[in-house]
Structure 1
Amino acid sequence: MAIVDLATKQSASYIRPTSWADGLRGIAALFVVASHTCLSFATYLIPPSFAETGKSILFQRPLFRLVIQGQAWVAIFLVLLGFVNALKPLQLARRGATADALAALSTGAFRRKWRLVFPAALMTILAWLLCQFGVFQLGRRVDAYWLRATSPQRSPSLGAAVVDLIRQIAGTWMYGENAYDHTSMGTATPFPWFTICIHDPASFDGTVGTNIFAGMILAELSFYNLTALRPRLIFKILPYGLVTLGLYICSYPDQYADQTAWSSQLASLAETFFPKDANVSRYYASLGAQMICLGVMLSPSLRRMLSHPMLLWFGSISFPLYLVHGPLMRSVLVYLLYLPMAIGFEPVLRADGTPDPESYISTPSPFRLGVILVMFFAFLLYVVQQWAKHIEPKMGALTAALERFSRSWGKNAVWTSKEKDEMLPVASVRELSR
Structure 2
Amino acid sequence: MAIVDPTTKQSPAYIRSTSWADGLRGIAALFVVASHTCLSFATYLIPPSFAETGKSILFQRPFFRLVIQGQAWVAVFLVLLGFVNALKPLQLARRGATSDALATLSTGAFRRKGRLVFPAALITFLAWLACQFGVFQLGRRVDAYWLRATSPKPSPSLITAVADLFRQIAGTWMYGENAYDQPQWALLHLFRGSLYVFMTLLALVNTTPLFRLCAQVVLYSYSWATLDGTIGTNIFAGMILAELSFYNLTALRPRALFKVLPYGLVTLGLYICSYPDQYADQTAWSSQLATLAQTIFPENANVSRYYASLGAQMVCFGVMLSPLMRRILSHPILLWLGSISFPLYLVHGPLMRSVLVYLVYLPMTIGFKPALGADGMPDPESYIPTPNPFRLGVILIIFFVFLLYVVQQWTVHVEPKMGALTAEFEKFSRSWGKTAMWTSKEKDGILPISSVKEVSA
Report the TM-score when normalising by structure 2. Answer: 0.89
Aligned partner of 1:109 in structure 2 is: 109
Equivalent positions of 1:251-290 (< 5 A) are: 251-290=274-313
Contact 1:333 1:376 (8 Å CA) reproduced:
yes
Distance 2:358 2:158 in 1: 25
Aligned partner of 2:69 in structure 1 is: 69
Aligned partner of 1:310 in structure 2 is: 333
Aligned partner of 1:122 in structure 2 is: 122
Distance 2:348 2:10 in 1: 24
| C-alpha distance after superposition, 1:236-277 (max 9, x if no partner) | 000000000000010000000000000000000101111111
Amino acid aligned to 1:218: L
Amino acid aligned to 1:179: A
Distance 1:22 1:239 in 2: 19
Between 1:221-230 and 1:94-103, the stretch displaced more is 94-103
Distance 1:125 1:195 in 2: 26
CA distance 1:416–1:193, shift in 2 (3 Å):
farther
Aligned partner of 2:29 in structure 1 is: 29
Aligned partner of 1:227 in structure 2 is: 250
| Matched residue SS, 1:12 | coil
Contact 2:172 2:187 (8 Å CA) reproduced:
no
Distance 2:319 2:161 in 1: 46
| Matched residue SS, 2:13 | helix
Aligned partner of 1:190 in structure 2 is: 190
Aligned partner of 1:412 in structure 2 is: 435
| Matched residue SS, 1:422 | coil
Aligned partner of 1:49 in structure 2 is: 49
Between 1:8-17 and 1:235-244, the stretch displaced more is 8-17
How far apart are 1:287 and its partner, in Å? 0.1
| C-alpha distance after superposition, 1:287-342 (max 9, x if no partner) | 00000000000111110010001100000001111110110000000000101122
Equivalent positions of 1:414-429 (< 5 A) are: 414-416=439-441, 421-422=444-445
How far apart are 1:101 and its partner, in Å? 1.1
How far apart are 1:103 and its partner, in Å? 1.4
| Matched residue SS, 1:183 | helix
Report the TM-score when normalising by structure 1. Answer: 0.93
Aligned partner of 1:294 in structure 2 is: 317
How far apart are 1:195 and its partner, in Å? 3.4
How far apart are 1:92 and its partner, in Å? 1.0
CA distance 1:119–1:246, shift in 2 (3 Å):
same
Amino acid aligned to 2:62: P
Equivalent positions of 1:272-421 (< 5 A) are: 272-413=295-436, 414-416=439-441, 421=444
Contact 1:416 1:424 (8 Å CA) reproduced:
no
Contact 1:11 1:309 (8 Å CA) reproduced:
no
1:216 aligns with 2:239: yes
Aligned partner of 1:247 in structure 2 is: 270
How far apart are 1:344 and its partner, in Å? 4.1
How far apart are 1:211 and its partner, in Å? 0.7
CA distance 1:425–1:322, shift in 2 (3 Å):
farther
Distance 1:153 1:350 in 2: 23
Amino acid aligned to 2:19: S
1:78 aligns with 2:101: no
Aligned partner of 2:93 in structure 1 is: 93
| C-alpha distance after superposition, 1:355-409 (max 9, x if no partner) | 2221100000111101101110110011001000000000001011111111223
Between 1:201-210 and 1:24-33, the stretch displaced more is 201-210
How many residue pairs get matched? 426
Distance 1:373 1:325 in 2: 13
| Matched residue SS, 1:8 | coil
How far apart are 1:425 and its partner, in Å? 12
Distance 2:301 2:250 in 1: 35
Distance 1:393 1:141 in 2: 37
Distance 2:445 2:295 in 1: 61
Contact 1:82 1:215 (8 Å CA) reproduced:
yes
Percent identical pairs in the alignment equals 80
Amino acid aligned to 2:230: T
Aligned partner of 2:214 in structure 1 is: none
Distance 2:448 2:396 in 1: 62
Between 1:309-318 and 1:184-193, the stretch displaced more is 184-193
Aligned partner of 1:144 in structure 2 is: 144
Distance 1:192 1:160 in 2: 30
| C-alpha distance after superposition, 1:118-154 (max 9, x if no partner) | 1100000000000000000000000001100111111
Distance 1:401 1:123 in 2: 20
Q: What runs of 5+ residues in structure 1 fail to find an aligned partner?
A: none
Between 1:350-359 and 1:168-177, the stretch displaced more is 350-359
How far apart are 1:345 and its partner, in Å? 2.7
Amino acid aligned to 2:16: R
* Root mean square deviation of aligned Cα: 2.3
